[in-house]
């Protein structure tokens, strides 16, 4: 309901207030250059986040061609802002090879009594392809049984109600394999969560180290029964894919302070595709196209300063956050700027969908770890943005679950700034740009600029508490 408010027609009471408000804001900006505030505008914010969260980006999974395109867009914007590349050979890219598995989905075939059975991909595979003709045993309850199998079996998966249901099923699959099942067909509804976890498109999937390659597990339509089956199950191939952090900087204008850097960052990746019916694209508009948009607008804003910041400011987007903070972990192990000369990391996560009553407000995670958020709140106030300690989210839990944390573990003062909510569309196809509050986002980015500026100019240096 909050979101609707921003769509009131121009001329409404609300937009009159907004005009009054913004003029009072301009008057209060004594130390914040108006050139910088002007380039953080709703038009640029809206178009940037809408592109990054478009369906064509297919949820920016790690690795995916779309994540690569998104990183190339970030690099193009860094170039446009005049940033200096801090990646390989002067480019903006810090490349890394990750191991992936691929199956050629086209070669997956299941038929029963001569009729094709619909398949939804492979949950796990094997280094050997498998061709089989013969009976497939239906197994309804194997929980207590110590029965042995010597061929393929078929089970029915109920919908997951909880994580426990999911781990129960994984245990059940493992038991069946141990009992001799040479392949397992799992009957599911097309919108079952497992479908989103299967290799169906032939796209490479990152190896997590937890996957089993001990046998074929195939998702099939519900209703298949015992009969004469013909199975053609492809092998899994090992390959590599290139992923990249995108890194650019504005060198500090002060000869001494310029040796110190502030890193402003956000993760570019999201969770890709879920399921295979209806809207399957997890757009990740709030999580975290909104944060990347902030990084790009902040790069524009720092670049627009009449005199550049005294400290060096580094702008960065990460791959693989959703897979376990992988891009930021990679960066802190391979930093392009000495970590002991990195004064702070301002990481930005989910600023597009404010909680009720929190429009234009922003909070940080791990508030009590350092005095940085409090110090930043002073500057943010100058443009009318409140940076506050959130009663629920400013604690330890979220502090450890985003890209600021690998920096913090290396001793860099690092917090994630968020102005969102844990909404029902979190990690779902419904996290779309139409649901974002662009005006709120714009204001919060201006606040983050005004809050970071004194630190970038060496007016304060955050300390651990």
Paired tokens of 33: 């250059």
CB of 11 to Zn ion, least distance (A): 37
Beta bridge partners of 362: 387
CB of 159 to Zn ion, least distance (A): 26
Residues in the chain: 465
| Nearer Cβ to Zn ion (260/287) | 287
Question: Helix or strand or coil: residue 172?
Answer: helix
Q: What is the distance between the alpha carbons of residues 61 and 104, in angstroms, rounded to a whole number? A: 19
Q: Pattern of binders to Zn ion over 268-297, x per CB under 5 A?
A: -------------------xx---------
| Nearer Cβ to Zn ion (260/349) | 349
Q: Pattern of binders to Zn ion over 379-408, x per CB under 5 A?
A: ------------------------------
Q: How many residues bind Zn ion (CB under 5 A)?
A: 3
Non-local (6+) Cβ contacts of 204 within 8 A are 63, 100, 101, 102, 239, 241
CB of 269 to Zn ion, least distance (A): 9
Give the neighbor-by-neighbor strand order of the sheet with 183-188: 119-126, 214-221, 183-188, 153-156, 137-138
| Nearer Cβ to Zn ion (287/437) | 287
Paired tokens of 400: 């450890």
CB of 37 to Zn ion, least distance (A): 26
| Nearer Cβ to Zn ion (349/382) | 349
The Cα-based distances of 392 to 187, 293, 366, 449 in angstroms read 40, 25, 11, 25
Q: What is the distance between the alpha carbons of residues 169 and 160, in angstroms, rounded to a whole number? A: 9
Nearest to residue 435, comparing CAs of 363, 353, 315?
Answer: 353
Q: At 352, phi and psi to the nearest 5?
A: -95, -15
| Nearer Cβ to Zn ion (66/287) | 287
Q: At 47, phi and psi to the nearest 5?
A: -70, -35
| Nearer Cβ to Zn ion (87/320) | 320
Q: Pattern of binders to Zn ion over 320-349, x per CB under 5 A?
A: -----------------------------x
CB of 288 to Zn ion, least distance (A): 4
- Binding to Zn ion (CB under 5 A) within 443-462 occurs at none
Paired tokens of 231: 């199975």
Half-sphere exposure for 2 (CA within 13 Å, toward CB):
18
| Nearer Cβ to Zn ion (186/292) | 292
CB of 293 to Zn ion, least distance (A): 13
| Nearer Cβ to Zn ion (119/288) | 288
Q: What is the distance between the alpha carbons of residues 387 and 377, in angstroms, rounded to a whole number? A: 5
Q: What is the DSSP letter of 465?
A: -
CB of 326 to Zn ion, least distance (A): 13
- Binding to Zn ion (CB under 5 A) within 346-375 occurs at 349
431 binding Zn ion? (CB under 5 A): no
Question: Helix or strand or coil: residue 115?
Answer: strand
| Nearer Cβ to Zn ion (268/453) | 268
Task: Please report, as ranges, the residues that interact with Zn ion according to CB under 5 A.
Answer: 287-288, 349
């Amino acid at each position: 309901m909050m979101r609707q408010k921003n769509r009131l027609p121009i001329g409404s009471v609300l937009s009159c207030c907004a005009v009054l408000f913004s003029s009072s804001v301009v008057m209060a900006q004594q130390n914040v250059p108006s050139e910088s505030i002007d380039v953080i505008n709703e038009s640029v914010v809206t178009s940037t986040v809408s592109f990054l969260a478009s369906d064509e980006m297919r949820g920016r999974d790690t690795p995916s061609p779309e994540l690569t395109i998104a990183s190339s867009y970030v690099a193009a914007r860094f170039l446009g802002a005049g940033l200096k590349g801090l990646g390989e050979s002067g480019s903006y890219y810090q490349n890394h090879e990750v191991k992936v598995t691929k199956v050629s989905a086209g070669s997956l075939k299941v038929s029963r009594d001569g009729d094709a059975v619909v398949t939804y991909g492979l949950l796990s595979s094997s280094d050997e392809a498998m061709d089989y003709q013969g009976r497939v045993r239906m197994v309804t309850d194997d929980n207590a049984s110590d029965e042995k199998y010597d061929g393929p079996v078929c089970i029915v998966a109920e919908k997951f109600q909880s994580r426990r249901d999911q781990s129960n099923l994984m245990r059940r699959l493992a038991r069946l394999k141990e009992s001799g099942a040479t392949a397992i067909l799992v009957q599911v509804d097309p919108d079952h969560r497992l479908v989103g976890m299967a290799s169906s498109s032939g796209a490479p999937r990152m190896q997590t180290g937890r996957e089993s390659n001990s046998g074929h597990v195939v998702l099939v339509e519900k209703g298949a029964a015992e009969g004469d089956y013909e199975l053609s199950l492809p092998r899994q191939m090992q390959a590599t894919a290139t992923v990249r952090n995108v890194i650019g900087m504005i060198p500090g204008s002060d000869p001494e302070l310029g040796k110190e850097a502030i890193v402003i960052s956000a993760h570019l990746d999201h969770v890709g595709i879920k399921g295979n019916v209806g809207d399957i694209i997890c757009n990740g508009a709030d999580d975290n196209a909104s944060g990347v948009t902030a990084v790009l607008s902040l790069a524009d804003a720092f670049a627009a300063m009449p005199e550049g910041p005294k400290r060096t400011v580094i702008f960065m987007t990460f791959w693989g956050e959703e897979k376990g903070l992988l891009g930021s972990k990679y960066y802190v192990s391979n930093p392009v700027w000495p970590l002991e000369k990195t004064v702070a990391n301002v990481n930005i996560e989910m600023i597009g969908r404010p909680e009720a009553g929190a429009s234009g407000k922003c909070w940080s995670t791990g508030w009590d770890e350092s005095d940085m958020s409090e110090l930043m709140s002073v500057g943010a106030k100058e443009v009318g943005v409140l940076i506050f300690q959130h009663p629920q989210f400013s604690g330890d839990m979220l502090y450890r679950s985003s890209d600021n944390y690998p920096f913090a573990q290396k001793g860099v003062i690092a917090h994630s700034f968020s102005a969102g909510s844990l909404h029902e569309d979190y990690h779902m196809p419904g996290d779309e740009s139409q649901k974002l509050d662009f005006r709120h986002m714009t204001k919060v980015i201006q606040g983050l600029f005004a809050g970071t500026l004194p630190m970038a100019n060496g007016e304060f240096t955050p300390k651990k508490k």
